[in-house]
Amino acid sequence: MQQLTYTAPNELHWLEADEPSLSSDVAALVRPVAVATCDLDALILAGESPFPAPFPIGHECVAEVIDAGDSVRPFERGQLVSVPFQISCGECAACRRGRSSNCTAVPFMSTYGFGPAVEQWGGFLSDVVCVPYAEHMLVPVPDGLEPAAVASASDNISDAWRAVAPPLADDPGAPVLIVGGASTGSIGLYAAGIAAALGAESVTYVDADPTRRRVAERLGVGVTLAETPSRLGPFPITVDSSADPDGLALALRSTAPDGTCTSTAIYFGDQPSLPLLEMYTKGIVFRTGRANAREAMPHVLELAASRAIQPELVTSRVVGFADAADALLERDWCKLVIER
């Protein structure tokens, strides 16, 4: 089979690879039909991530089931499923506690499309992918949803959901501040749209990019700002999706006493300083780290199926598999979707 492989900064090639087989009676084989870029992909392609070439890419997708082990019961051949980017078993102590990003049954940071164990799992821009724990990992796509619309449920939309949905469940109707702009900038937009859909009293979105600010308005955001001030609010719920020390400082300083700030951004290289004294005196909660995508995915798909959120509004372009390499390297997208 062929898989699209990152071979060097700004270089992608379709390379031949061994087609995976069923690894056990609890595994499934799937064919990706809609693959989306993650905000991290732009950094990978530019050589700005810590993951050395070569490796197969693509870690957000909707796929169709083409085969399954004898113990895999809920899924039928041809069924559309969302595949989480993280490998997890569903049975270890971490998975049972809803922490599938740190599953102990597989090597640390086992993911499709990047990471230290990528050679074992491959990437979604390929003909066939093995899902080792199919009953746990695969999430059925609700009828009526276009695969391209929810391809990012595997990662970015779920990452955005975890940043705003649990805090809004604890504080219904609270106003929300989103500081966006990290890399290609989709996670902040998804977070803004989800916060609006879940009944936030108001959503303020900060991003220097005018195109993303226009998308935020279409997603239901009431206030958009181009400049990054030193402080806004205060807001009971804030999100740093900026990957910018100034954006992170804005989110933290704008968090209300006893509020929650979640950073979905990855900070490579020199680490930003935190306003720890202010955080301490206000007693805020600061969360960072990889999302537990599998736990969030059903919530994301339910919101999309009800049309409470419209993730396709974030999509910049949709292209075919034959055009994937050229479109990816152009990097003129916020969210690129590649359809089979």
**DSSP letters for 2-32:** EEEEEEETTEEEEEE-PPP---STT-EEEEE
- pLDDT at 74 (0 to 100): 87
Encode pLDDT of 40-98 as tens digits: 999 999 999 999 999 999 999 999 999 999 999 889 999 999 999 999 999 999 999 99
- pLDDT at 47 (0 to 100): 96
**What percentage of residues in the chain have a pLDDT greater than 70?**
100
Rounded CA separation 44/50 (Å): 8
- Residue 218 in this model has a pLDDT that exceeds 90: yes
Give the pTM. Answer: 0.97
- pLDDT at 273 (0 to 100): 94
* Maximum CA extent, the chain: 58
Average of pLDDT values for 233-260? 98
The answer to whether 87 touches 50, Cβ cutoff 8 Å, is: no
Confidence at 260, pLDDT banded by 50, 70, 90: very high
What tokens does 48 get? 């700005």
163 phi and psi angles, rounded to 5 deg: -80, -25
Return the domain boundaries, the chain: 2-155+292-339, 156-288
Which residue, among 36, 43, 41, 2, has the nearest Cα to 19 in the 3D structure?
2
Rounded CA separation 10/125 (Å): 17
Q: Which residues share a beta bridge with 83?
A: 61
Match 């152009």 to its residue by tokens. Answer: 330
Fold for 2-155+292-339, please state it: Quinone Oxidoreductase; Chain A, domain 1 (3.90.180)
Average of pLDDT values for 115-144? 97
- Residue 133 in this model has a pLDDT that exceeds 90: yes
Q: What is the mean pLDDT of the chain?
A: 97
CB atoms within 10 A of CB 270: 7
Encode pLDDT of 271-301 as tens digits: 999 999 999 999 999 999 999 999 999 999 9
Confidence at 148, pLDDT banded by 50, 70, 90: very high
Fold for 156-288, please state it: Rossmann fold (3.40.50)
- Residue 154 in this model has a pLDDT that exceeds 90: yes
- Residue 153 in this model has a pLDDT that exceeds 90: yes
Confidence at 151, pLDDT banded by 50, 70, 90: very high
Encode pLDDT of 9-40 as tens digits: 999 999 999 999 998 999 999 999 999 999 99
